[in-house]
A = this chain, B = another copy of it.
Amino acid sequence: MSKLRVGILGATGTVGQRFVQLLEDHPQFEVTALAASDRSQGKTYSEACAWRLPGEMPGYARAMRVEAPQPPLHCDLVFSSLPGGMARETEGAFARAGFPVISNSSAYRMDEDVPLLIPEINHEHLKLLDAQRAKNSSGGYIVTNPNCSTIMIALALAPLDARFGLEAVVVTTLQALSGAGYPGVPSLDATDNVVPFIEHEEEKIEEETQKILGVMRGERVEHAPIKLSAQVHRVNVTEGHMAAIRVKLARRAALEEVKDALTSFTSLPQELKLHSAPAQTIIVREERDRPQPRLDRDAGRGMTVTVGRLLPDKVLDFRFVALSHNTIRGAAGAAILNAELLAATDRLKH
């Protein structure tokens, strides 16, 4: 069967480049359109894009002509990593024009009828697409993935919430530079420094996590009644977000049970053997000094969350440190996994 044709909105940005890289030789998707902002339009991708990822720009993309990010594009679905400002209007236009929009942008994440999807956690939320379909008969719709640090946090929390119930979560992040895109964080803020601020990030972690871990009540998602506190920091790491997490559970649990819940976590993407799904979603390491960004970010080809330093906590119940690759599991890889789930459940069409 032929591959689904894919357009990438925001193709020249940091996450856009990850889409281009991860979709090379993808078994189900073939990139047929690249779109970006004014400056790039009309140029070839190799002219328009200052490639910032290790390794060469994939050959397939080099000569492709960059188009305007507006429908129609010659494709069956679009991935979007448009910047906040223009994402809402553009993604909405594509959805109304009949395109499934698999978005990494924040514009629609908290909309009531838009799934904030992590396939391992809340694939039931896809039911929200019925509500979108009711308003938009074109066949188009929007599915979003969470913020880069929220995905990792939610993945580490989901098995604990499922088995023990979560009452409160205290998260302190140490986030990588690539999360801010390019040029992003000025080097004078990064070198020999930490910045304890990322705009809107604390709010996103607190709110998005409650939606992700929420359950379907009829037609809508009831947000999880978990108390959440996030303090965020930008540290001098190229790739790999880290979060120090404490949890208060609804029921008493032994450390070994908590560990088992994390380690044994497996879900629909693994059952369906989705192409980008890692064999193991969460790895728990026993070494006392792991996870570390440089050593662990590429676990599961960037799609696995590594947990370490799992210990009892003196204020809440347990604590641990989680780490994952912020531009793969936290962005482009997340969106691609979402699309793979949509394809596997017959929600994408040629």
Contact = CB atoms under 8 A, between A and B. Distances in A.
Interface of A: 51-56, 168-170, 172, 174, 177-178, 182-197, 206, 227-229, 231, 233, 235-238, 242, 244, 246, 288-295, 297-299, 308-309, 313-316, 319, 321
Contacts of A313: 229
Contacts of A189: 187, 292
Contacts of A321: 196, 231
A295 B54 contact: yes
Given A174-B194, A192-B294, A193-B295, 13 more contacts: A52-B188, A52-B295, A55-B299, A174-B235, A184-B186, A185-B188, A186-B187, A191-B192, A196-B291, A196-B309, A227-B315, A229-B313, A233-B242
Contacts of A238: 188, 191-192, 294
B192 A192 contact: yes
Contacts of A291: 196
Contact of A187 (B177, B233, B316): B177
B295 A194 contact: no
Contact of A185 (B187, B193, B292, B297): B187
A54 B236 contact: no
A314 B228 contact: yes
A292 B194 contact: yes
Given A172-B172, A236-B187, A292-B193, A244 B231 contact: yes
Copies of this protein in the assembly total 4
A233 B231 CA distance: 14
Which 7 pairs across A and B sit closest by C-beta, in order of nearness? A183-B186, A187-B190, A172-B172, A197-B289, A229-B315, A231-B244, A193-B294
A200 B235 CA distance: 23
A175 B329 CA distance: 27
A293 B54 CA distance: 9
Contacts of A308: 196
With a 10 A CB-CB cut-off, give which of A185, A188, A291, A313 has the most chain B CB atoms: A188
A178 B193 CA distance: 13
A186 B188 contact: no
26 contacts: A54-B295, A54-B297, A54-B298, A55-B298, A55-B299, A170-B170, A170-B316, A174-B194, A178-B188, A182-B186, A183-B188, A184-B187, A184-B188, A185-B188, A187-B187, A192-B192, A193-B292, A194-B242, A196-B321, A228-B314, A231-B244, A231-B319, A231-B321, A233-B242, A235-B235, A236-B236
A143 to B, nearest CB: 28
B191 A177 contact: yes
Given A55-B298, A187-B191, A192-B237, A172 B244 contact: yes
A192 B288 contact: no
Contacts of A56: 299
B170 A290 contact: no
